[in-house]
Amino acid sequence: MKNVLIPTKLDKFAADLLKEKGFKVVQAHDKTIEELAAANPETEALIIRSEKVTPAVMDALPKLKLVVRAGAGYDNVDIKYARRKNVDVMNTPGANANAVAEEVVAMMLAAYRKLIPADISTRNGEWEKNKFMGNEITEKTIGIIGLGNIGRLLVKRLQGFEMKFLAYDPVISADFAEKMGVELCTVEDIFKRADIISLHLPENEATRGLVNKKLLETMKTGAMLVNCARSGIINENDLREMKPVKKLIFCNDVYAKDAAGPKSVADIADVMAPHLGASTAEANFVAAKRAAEQTIAYFEKGVTNCVVNKGVPDGLDEKYQTLAFTIARLARTYLGEKKAPHKIETSYYGKLRKFGNWMLAPVTAGISPEFDPFLDASDALSFLKERGIEVSDREVDDSKNYGEAITVDLFEGDKTIRKVSIRGTITENHMMVSRINNYDKLYLEPSGHNLFVEYGDEPGVIGKIASILGAEGINIIDIRAPQDLKANMSLAAIKVNKELSAEALDKIKASVNAKKIFQFTYEA
């Protein structure tokens, strides 16, 4: 008999199903998780909602093997400490997706029709019909930033309003988007064209502060911004500055901290709610059902799908997973952030051949910051399939003596196929990129700030680049400059001490007539 603690107000279906399967369940929400953990030290599995699972909570549960977050996000769980304690952490992705999508629709309608102030006014005995003249969402253009589970459901829910759909997602293929009736755009284009913008991105280093003054000042006058994702995606001060200038409408359901007290956006939000995205009876039931089913499958069958903090199998150095992520990230950057690959091919050489499944999640995370690298191969395959991306692992020829090496190829385009192929390995305990396309023997250690310039092979180009870098106050740390003799092209891979400005990149591109120029930064 396994002991399960549910320290939250979760639908009782989870407890009932677990008890039916022979689990011993304690469910309570009248005490803190710390108090409940102290009172139930025999707990082997925790099922939570928004409760914080800290190192102290895990230390109080010496038999703990599994934490299930009944929902998608799991930033309330210290997953790294859990891994050190050999505790698996799961989420239930998609369980709350429809609830959040419907909340977005509700906020849009409430804001456009001014229902909240109209309700207050009418309850006060006033009759201010002219004051609350609103707008209709029918035939408006909506921009959706992120076409994950929620974003795709939002498209479905809004189709009856005959809206025009714009969307940004770094890994949705054009064919897949077209079938959904969605036009893929850049984030910048969406902010310029959309009447309503809804955010559906995780908060991480790549997305934090994404919505800033530069984007906000391009929005249409009177446009609406809806955030039911994460608070840090928006630069709040920039929104505060631009809202009156552009007469923007702002709807918000997410905050830096889910707790009672003053909210920093109270002065700029037209509609705000206490993180109600998942707060429906239906979503609570689905999350409870999935959490219970996953707990049962974990203990009875050893099923580890949706574990978000997996370790590595015996015989695999986790540095190779980092290498797989970095190569994929570099390939995606080379291909172009605005170009979504429709196909991924991988090659694993030497002893890495048997670990291909353990590399797919890091490769997928390298292609899309939306995907968590701690998920497993089945999660990665589902993620890619949902976005119309084909993936295959090639047979390799180890007679080439690449040692333990990884190659990632990305393909983009329909009629004209563009491809980028990158191979790398671990040398003297450091990552090493050995080839990019036909630029062999590159031997680049990709950490830090790296500038890549591809140009027609001719003398003096490196000198021109170095001159511009010097004028910009940028130090050169290392230079690699392999040639593609068949194409009469060269690639300058220059490690520098800081990122270049867009103006500096433009100067270099014009000076050397570069075919391609981009930056790649990796912080170990």
Are residues 294 and 265 both part of a single domain? no
24 sits in the region (left: phi over 0; alpha: psi -120 to 50; else beta) called: beta
State pLDDT tens for residues 87-99.
999 999 889 999 9
Where do we find the tokens 């969406």?
Answer: 190
Look at residue 173 in the predicted model and tell me its pLDDT: 81
Cα-Cα-Cα-Cα dihedral sign, residues 158, 162, 163, 168? positive
Instruction: Report the half-sphere exposure of 474 (CA within 13 A, side-chain side).
Output: 21
Measure Cα distances from 114 to 109, 125, 127, 131, 344 in Å: 8, 17, 14, 9, 47
Assess contact for 46 and 64: CB atoms under 8 A: yes
Measure Cα distances from 215 to 73, 198, 209, 253 in Å: 26, 14, 11, 21
Among candidate residues 368, 371, 369, the one with its CA nearest the CA of residue 379: 371
Per-residue pLDDT at 431 exceeds 80? yes
CB atoms within 10 A of CB 443: 14
Report how far residue 219's alpha carbon sits from residue 333's, in angstroms, rounded to the nearest whole number.
27
Give how far the C-alpha of residue 522 lies from the chain's centroid of Cα atoms, to the nearest Å: 17
Number of domains in the chain: 3
Residue type, 410: L
Where do we find the tokens 């109080």?
Answer: 60
Are residues 85 and 105 both part of a single domain? no
Q: What does the mean pLDDT of the chain come to?
A: 93
Report how far residue 31's alpha carbon sits from residue 68's, in angstroms, rounded to the nearest whole number.
19
Per-residue pLDDT at 445 exceeds 70? yes
State pLDDT tens for residues 492-503.
999 999 999 999
State pLDDT tens for residues 412-430.
876 567 899 999 999 999 9
pLDDT-derived band at 524 (thresholds 50, 70, 90) equals: low
Please provide residue 419's backbone torsions phi and psi, each rounded to the nearest 5 degrees: -135, 145
Look at residue 2 in the predicted model and tell me its pLDDT: 95
> 286 is written with which tokens?
């689905």
| Residue 314, in any domain of the structure | no
Structural domain range at position 511: 319-522
CATH number at residue 80: 3.40.50.720
Look at residue 507 in the predicted model and tell me its pLDDT: 95
Helix (H) or strand (E) holding 68: strand 66-69
Percent of the chain with pLDDT over 70: 99
Percent of the chain with pLDDT over 90: 79
Angle, CA 391 vertex, CA 389 and CA 396 arms, to 5°? 155
Are residues 113 and 181 both part of a single domain? yes
Per-residue pLDDT at 478 exceeds 80? yes
Give how far the C-alpha of residue 418 lies from the chain's centroid of Cα atoms, to the nearest Å: 24
Per-residue pLDDT at 41 exceeds 70? yes
More confident residue, 251 or 207: 251
The answer for residues whose C-beta is within 8 angstroms of residue 15's C-beta and 6 or more apart is: 4, 6, 25, 27, 292
Report how far residue 179's alpha carbon sits from residue 158's, in angstroms, rounded to the nearest whole number.
15
Report how far residue 85's alpha carbon sits from residue 92's, in angstroms, rounded to the nearest whole number.
22
Look at residue 318 in the predicted model and tell me its pLDDT: 86
| Residue 469, in any domain of the structure | yes
Report how far residue 2's alpha carbon sits from residue 296's, in angstroms, rounded to the nearest whole number.
10
Per-residue pLDDT at 345 exceeds 70? yes
| Residue 117, in any domain of the structure | yes
Are residues 348 and 496 both part of a single domain? yes
Determine how β-strand 141-145 pairs with β-strand 196-199. parallel
| Residue 42, in any domain of the structure | yes
Are residues 59 and 122 both part of a single domain? no
pLDDT-derived band at 316 (thresholds 50, 70, 90) equals: confident
Per-residue pLDDT at 517 exceeds 80? yes
Are residues 385 and 451 both part of a single domain? yes
| Residue 144, in any domain of the structure | yes
State pLDDT tens for residues 352-403.
999 998 999 999 999 998 887 777 788 899 889 988 899 999 988 888 888 9
3-state secondary structure at position 158? helix
State pLDDT tens for residues 57-107.
999 999 999 999 998 888 899 988 998 899 999 999 889 999 999 999 999
Assess contact for 440 and 432: CB atoms under 8 A: no
Are residues 126 and 70 both part of a single domain? no
The answer for residues whose C-beta is within 8 angstroms of residue 513's C-beta and 6 or more apart is: 455, 456
Assess contact for 203 and 369: CB atoms under 8 A: no
Rg (CA), the chain: 26
Assess contact for 141 and 166: CB atoms under 8 A: yes
As a whole number of angstroms, the longest Cα–Cα distance in the chain is: 85
Say how many residues make up the chain. Answer: 524
Are residues 71 and 58 both part of a single domain? yes
Are residues 473 and 364 both part of a single domain? yes
State pLDDT tens for residues 152-211.
999 999 999 999 999 999 888 888 888 999 999 999 999 999 999 999 998 877 789 999
b/e sequence 109-124, b meaning 16+ C-beta within 10 Å = ebbbebeeebeebeee
pLDDT-derived band at 117 (thresholds 50, 70, 90) equals: very high
CATH number at residue 379: 3.30.70.260
> 113 is written with which tokens?
């029709």
Measure Cα distances from 127 to 58, 106, 132, 303 in Å: 56, 24, 10, 60
DSSP 500-513: PPHHHHHHHHHHHT
Q: What's the count of helices (H) and strands (E) in the chain, helices before strands?
A: 17, 22
Per-residue pLDDT at 260 exceeds 80? yes
| Residue 127, in any domain of the structure | yes
| Residue 308, in any domain of the structure | no
254 by Cβ neighbours in 10 Å (0-12 / 13-18 / 19+) ranks as: buried
Per-residue pLDDT at 510 exceeds 80? yes
Distance in Å from the first CA to the final CA of the chain = 43
Look at residue 314 in the predicted model and tell me its pLDDT: 75
Are residues 329 and 203 both part of a single domain? no
| Residue 306, in any domain of the structure | no
Last residue of a domain, one of 233, 251, 272: 272
pTM for the model stands at: 0.74
The answer for residues whose C-beta is within 8 angstroms of residue 133's C-beta and 6 or more apart is: none
Mean pLDDT, residues 122-147 taken together: 96
pLDDT-derived band at 309 (thresholds 50, 70, 90) equals: confident
More confident residue, 223 or 310: 223
Are residues 331 and 466 both part of a single domain? yes
Are residues 336 and 464 both part of a single domain? yes
Please give the sequence-ordered ranges of beta strands (E in DSSP) within 313-417, or none if there are none: 343-348, 390-393, 405-412
